[in-house]
A = this chain, B = another copy of it.
Amino acid sequence: MREALVAAAFRLFLERGYEQTTVDDIVTLAGVGRRSFFRYFPSKEDVVFPDHERCLADMTAFLAASPEDTDPVARVCDAARLVLRMYAENPDFSVQRYHLTKKVPGLRAYELSVVWRYERALAEYLRGRLGGRPDGALRADLIAAAVVAAHNNALRSWLRSDGRDDAAAAVDHALEYAQSAFGSVPVPPPAGERGDVVVVLARRGAPLWQVVREVEAAFADD
């Protein structure tokens, strides 16, 4: 039933556009009652993202099942890879949907709210792990945002390639980048002790005052 509705909807969306297709069109093509559509999909937009609800549940379960001693940043990166895997499971479907959401503002808005829920899930997990730290919530939000942005960047470039590029490699590269930016917030030092590796990086061209601030920030940590 769900599958029949999704199939009918996408046929019509691709054929004559999203806004030119009414829910009545979909249900008559699928041969079911109009009321049943809204039983399976709370809104017309939901039929375009039929598996995100399940994926979000998978992600929260994955995060909830994290061992205590894993690097939380690496863990949220792995959580993001879960989403990519969902997209990669049906490349054709994902590419079609990409072209649809690219040109329909309403769908773009809906997608944003979906992405936002993923980001909140990551941020909540990170808040739990960075809770006591100074600026823990701020760090959590920043890392979640960066991980999501890296994931989306890789995902979109994969979708733009019509699913031909290597999605996993692209997302690995992008996430490594995000991880490197926040490499300063990894596994907390074993209780009681404090980690002792403190080095400073500023790439070519960084103004000196920034480097100094970095050093101060590193030591002001606790």
**Bound-complex Cα distance A133 to B110 (A):** 33
Report the contact-size class of chain A (Cβ under 8 Å from the partner): 35 or more
Interface: A199 (CB within 8 A): yes
Interface: A149 (CB within 8 A): yes
Q: Is the CB of A142 within 8 A of B149?
A: yes
Copies in the complex: 2
**Bound-complex Cα distance A217 to B200 (A):** 14
- Assuming the contacts A186-B207, A207-B71, A207-B186, asked whether A142 and B202 have C-beta atoms less than 8 A apart, the reply is no
Contact of A112 among B112, B176, B187 (CB under 8 A): B112
Nearest Cβ in chain B — how far from A165, in angstroms?
Answer: 14
Interface: A192 (CB within 8 A): no
Q: Is the CB of B198 within 8 A of A200?
A: no
Q: Is the CB of A204 within 8 A of B187?
A: no
Q: Is the CB of A138 within 8 A of B174?
A: yes
Interface: A63 (CB within 8 A): no
Chain B residues whose C-beta falls within 8 Å of the C-beta of A137 in the assembled complex: 153
- Assuming the contacts A112-B109, A153-B137, A153-B141, asked whether A196 and B201 have C-beta atoms less than 8 A apart, the reply is no
Give residues of chain A (9-56) contacting chain B, Cβ–Cβ below 8 Å. Answer: none
Interface pick from A76-84, A94-102, A177-185: A177-185
Question: Which has the most chain B C-beta neighbours within 10 Å: A153, A188, A194?
Answer: A153
**Bound-complex Cα distance A207 to B112 (A):** 34
Q: Is the CB of A180 within 8 A of B142?
A: no
Nearest Cβ in chain B — how far from A155, in angstroms?
Answer: 11
Chain B residues whose C-beta falls within 8 Å of the C-beta of A142 in the assembled complex: 146, 149-150, 153, 177-178, 181
**Bound-complex Cα distance A98 to B108 (A):** 23
Contact of A208 among B179, B189, B197, B198 (CB under 8 A): B197
**Bound-complex Cα distance A121 to B137 (A):** 26
Nearest Cβ in chain B — how far from A148, in angstroms?
Answer: 7
Known: A142-B150, A180-B217, A204-B222. 12 other contacts (CB 8 A): A109-B113, A112-B112, A142-B181, A183-B202, A183-B203, A184-B202, A186-B206, A195-B204, A197-B208, A197-B211, A199-B200, A199-B202
